[in-house]
Chain A
Amino acid sequence: MSIPKPGPTPVPMSKPFWSATAQGQLVVQRCQGCGTHQHYPRVVCRHCWLTELDWVTCSGDGRVWTYTVVHRPGHPAWEPEVPYVLALVELDEGPRLMTNIVNIAPAEMRVGLAVRAVFDDTADTSLVHFAPVDRPLPTP
């Protein structure tokens, strides 16, 4: 028996993010006042506290800031997938997110690796992962 993976639970604040991933787009918030990009979604700008925030589409490009290879998953649902790569990716727009790096062998991982967003819509909610820029996933 396989244990189902718990998926994200979109809430009003994060709904635009998940609606975008379903369209194959990565969006983050940008402050109308100071132009700061931020992720995760919040009600105020983390830089100037303005509440007027837009959702903007990112290029999807970023670089690996640091990473780990999971050999012992934090949740049993991921047991069949070890070893897998988790990384902190810094988007070209500035914000960082913790994400899976796919289409790469753990030994190939390195800090600074250029990666691009790919979308996994096999789950109920389309998840954003990243793959090396020169190795995009084949379109499903």
Chain B
Amino acid sequence: MGSNGIRDRVAIVGMGCTPFTEHWRKSTDDLVLEASTAAATSAGLGYAELDAFWLGTLDSGVSGLTLSKPLKLDYKPVSRLENMCATGSDAFRNACYAVASGAFDTAMAIGVEKLKDSGISGLATGGGGGDGTAAELSAPAMFSLLSPAYAHKYGVAEPELKEVLTRIAWKNHKNGALNPLAQFRKEVPKETIANSPRVAGALGVFDCSGVADGAAAAIIVRAEDAYEYTDQPLFVKALSLTAGPATGASDPGYDYTSFPEVVHCATDAYQQAGIRDPREQLGLAEVHDCFTPTELVLMEDLGFAERGLAWKDVLAGAFDLDGVLPVNPDGGLKSFGHPIGASGLRMLFECWLQLRGQADQRQIDNGRDLALTHNLGGQPGACVSFISVVGTTRD
């Protein structure tokens, strides 16, 4: 049992991404049109030549019409789906499977979120499963629970752990400063980050990702057709999705220093892609840094660092732009911003730029040709995890 994977059966041949920011002057229609047009244009395709569409959005639409209307699609299959913060990635996953199955020759995956003038501030998160256990916890509070548990288990002093978290935010801001599409394009001094107003537990405002509007899209074709569209396609090596039992908060056994969902997901993805040592083989990784402790824990869950030692690697700069494995070179959720439905495809967009040598000032040059995206939905103890691995050559 497990996934067989679709290694090297589909390829990405076009991508587009809007700036992520507070788009007061743009509607959901504007954003999907901008990302779709950029993606289709970069693949040299018109909408009429695209066979099927998957739209990921949490809150900006409930059906395929959210895409078919602004794109004026004539009677094409358009699905809308949602999987919490992993929504965009799941749209990509479904589009890849559709092409791999032979049902369609070309497909578009697109993610969008337009929160700013939707009548709510930030994300309205629904209660739990109706079983009476929903806790009135903000998202930063949920993720801040990781810090004391991690510090206690691995004997890291509280001020030291705060320094680690600060460095993660500092690094992602530094990367975002080099990215013209990012929401926050400024380096932020460590002292400012460390002394920012507290939100929950050890987390200050600067430990939290930006709430933004935006859209990102990818064009997927059969791998054997890829070079008809571009000289530099990306081949999909692995797609993995795991949903946990969601019992972490109430049942003993979950220790709040890891996301078991991610560990299972990584094992599956690495098996599909034939990766034995992700830290040595991946050229870059885009991971779900919704809050700084999340990125810390993910370094261990994704096998980028030894269990209990990621904090040392963070302090040593292992995941910096010029580190052994650059993580979130585009600034991550932290400084690129987090329009829920779009984030998974935004991560992929950075892989698209980096592996094709188009990342300008952020360009990583470590001679490796594989990239990973990791997208998380939910909270510690109750989440879904998505991982993709893409590469420049078809084995």
The answer, yes or no, to whether B73 is at the interface (CB within 8 Å) is no
Point out the residue from A11, A67, A73 that lies within 8 Å of B148, measured CB to CB: A67
Number of interface residues of B (CB under 8 A): 29
- Which secondary structure characterizes the binding site on chain B? loop
Q: Is B200 within 8 A of A69, CB to CB?
A: yes
Closest beta carbon of chain A to B163's beta carbon, Å: 18
Q: Is A95 within 8 A of B145, CB to CB?
A: no
Question: What per-residue 1/0 map shows which CB atoms of A69-80 lie under 8 Å from chain B?
Answer: 111111100100
Q: Is A68 within 8 A of B135, CB to CB?
A: no
The answer, yes or no, to whether B231 is at the interface (CB within 8 Å) is no
| Alpha-carbon distance A67/B201, docked complex (angstroms) | 8
Q: Is A40 within 8 A of B247, CB to CB?
A: no
Within 8 A of B (CB), among A58-115: 65-75, 78, 83, 86, 88, 90, 94-98, 109-112
Within 8 A of B (CB), among A1-22: 8-9, 11, 13-14
Question: What per-residue 1/0 map shows which CB atoms of B223-266 lie under 8 Å from chain A?
Answer: 00000000000000000000000010111100110000000000
Residues of chain B with a CB closer than 8 A to A13's CB:
132
Closest A residue by C-beta to B146: A66
The answer, yes or no, to whether A46 is at the interface (CB within 8 Å) is yes
The answer, yes or no, to whether A39 is at the interface (CB within 8 Å) is yes
| Alpha-carbon distance A78/B135, docked complex (angstroms) | 13
The answer, yes or no, to whether B312 is at the interface (CB within 8 Å) is no
Contacts A8-B132, A68-B201, A69-B198 given: A88-B252 contact, CB under 8 Å? no
Closest beta carbon of chain B to A63's beta carbon, Å: 11
Question: What per-residue 1/0 map shows which CB atoms of B34-75 lie under 8 Å from chain A?
Answer: 000000000000000000000000000000000000000000
Interface size class of A (residues with CB under 8 A): 35 or more
Q: Is A96 within 8 A of B252, CB to CB?
A: yes
Q: Is A75 within 8 A of B136, CB to CB?
A: yes
Interface hub of A39, A73, A96, A110 (most chain B Cβ within 10 A): A96
Contacts A46-B251, A96-B250 given: A40-B148 contact, CB under 8 Å? no
Q: Is B133 within 8 A of A88, CB to CB?
A: no
| Alpha-carbon distance A21/B1, docked complex (angstroms) | 46
A residues with CB within 8 A of B: 8-9, 11, 13-14, 38-42, 46, 65-75, 78, 83, 86, 88, 90, 94-98, 109-112
The 6 tightest CB contacts between A and B, nearest first, are: A111-B152, A68-B201, A66-B149, A74-B138, A68-B144, A71-B198
Extra contacts besides A88-B145, A111-B152 (16): CB < 8 Å:
A8-B132, A9-B132, A13-B132, A40-B131, A42-B131, A67-B148, A68-B137, A68-B200, A69-B198, A71-B200, A72-B200, A73-B138, A74-B136, A88-B249, A88-B256, A95-B251
B residues with CB within 8 A of A: 131-133, 135-138, 140-141, 144-149, 151-152, 197-201, 247, 249-252, 255-256
